Amino acid sequence: MYQWINQQIKAQSEKPFNARAAKYGDGFFETIYADGDNLFLFDLHYERITKSFKYLYFNEANLPTKEALKNTITEHLLSQSTEQSRISLHFYRDAIGFYTPSSNDASFNISIQRLDVPTNKENYSIGIYTENKKYANPISEIKSSNALISVLAASWKAMAGIDDAIILNHENNICEATASNIFIIKDKKIITPPLRDAPIDGVMRRFIIETLLEKNIIVIEKSISDKELFDADEVFLSNTMQKIQSVSSFGNSIEYGRKYTEELRLLLGL
């Protein structure tokens, strides 16, 4: 575990406790996949970090430049590694006070977890979590430290014995999975919820949409009802760690194909 304090990297045995982050969820996190010292889609991650600073009113003077942050991770933390890693960055308001903070200064820490090659499961089932809904607003797009709906949805899917839970927004439209964006395919049309429907502005989501558009393949951003999810030919999930995960079934009742998803995976070079 490492922390960046006053522009210096310091190793530590435990993640530092920050009362505001723990008590109020006053912060955000970012997770980056690294293959050796190659930080996958780092520019898009940095864009979301910058947006998160803006949305949370963090002091932008505390945000390292893109080059400084990248160099810190690669030169200090990954310089001796040829392995694949999960880089976790946690940014938090470094202040005292109750709801009203004493300042908007921000600090962050970095942790690195070595991992095996991410694999996609052959059989991957989903269900819909209905107990809590996600509301659309600017902070619904970022990885806020207050991720309680995702935690509850993930707890529910574990109890239900399925691989992932689909979260609904306040209008009962499909929003996202617990840690992934969702895409459905119907008649070779690729559809994903728009940001106005409250999904995370996922880095892999952006990469997929922008890359496919460059290849003249249209991705439609529109609201998705549960009926459209049930009637889809194929469904896949996306995040930076697993890239693309095909969904094989909705519970025990609906079976999805995966042929076109595999074609898209090859086209995207994933």
40 and 78 fall within a common domain: yes
In terms of residue numbers, what domain contains 232? 125-268
What amino acid is encoded at 73 in this protein?
Answer: I
Residue 60 has pLDDT above 60, yes or no: yes
Range with the lowest mean pLDDT among 4-18, 27-41, 50-64, 134-148? Answer: 4-18
In-domain check, residue 120: no
Q: Is residue 62 classed exposed, middle or buried when 0-12, 13-18 and 19+ CB atoms within 10 A define those classes?
A: middle
pLDDT value, residue 41: 97
**CATH number of the domain within which 169 lies:** 3.20.10.10
Q: According to the model, what pLDDT value does residue 10 have?
A: 59
CA distance 33 to 1: 16
Q: Which two tokens stand for residue 258?
A: 């995966």
Same domain, 164 and 91: no
User: 161 and 108 share a domain?
Assistant: no
Q: Evaluate whether residue 119 is within a structural domain.
A: no
Backbone Cα Rg of the chain: 19
The domain boundary residue, chosen from 93, 114, 135: 114
What pTM did the predictor assign?
0.91
Number of domains in the chain: 2
What is residue 184's predicted lDDT score, i.e. its pLDDT?
98
Q: Which residues on adjacent β-strands are paired with residue 203?
A: none
Strand ranges, E, within the chain:
2-5, 8-11, 27-35, 38-39, 84-93, 106-114, 125-134, 164-169, 174-177, 181-186, 189-192, 219-221, 234-239, 243-247, 249-250, 254-255
pLDDT tier at 11, thresholds 50, 70, 90: low
Q: Kindly state whether residues 87 and 153 are assigned to the same domain.
A: no
**Do 98 and 188 sit in the same domain of this protein?**
no
* Residue 136 within a domain: yes
Q: Same domain for 110 and 135?
A: no
94, 143: one domain:
no
Residue 87, domain member (yes or no)? yes
- Residues 65, 165: one domain? no
pLDDT in tens, 165-185: 999 999 999 999 999 999 999
Residue 190 lies in a domain: yes
Checking if the pLDDT of 222 tops 90, the result is yes
Where does a domain end: 70, 85, 114?
A: 114
Report the pLDDT value the prediction gives residue 174, as an integer from 0 to 100: 98
Residue 19 has a pLDDT of: 76
The pLDDT of residue 4 is 54
79, 114, 149 — which closes off a domain? Answer: 114
Over the chain, what is the mean pLDDT?
A: 91
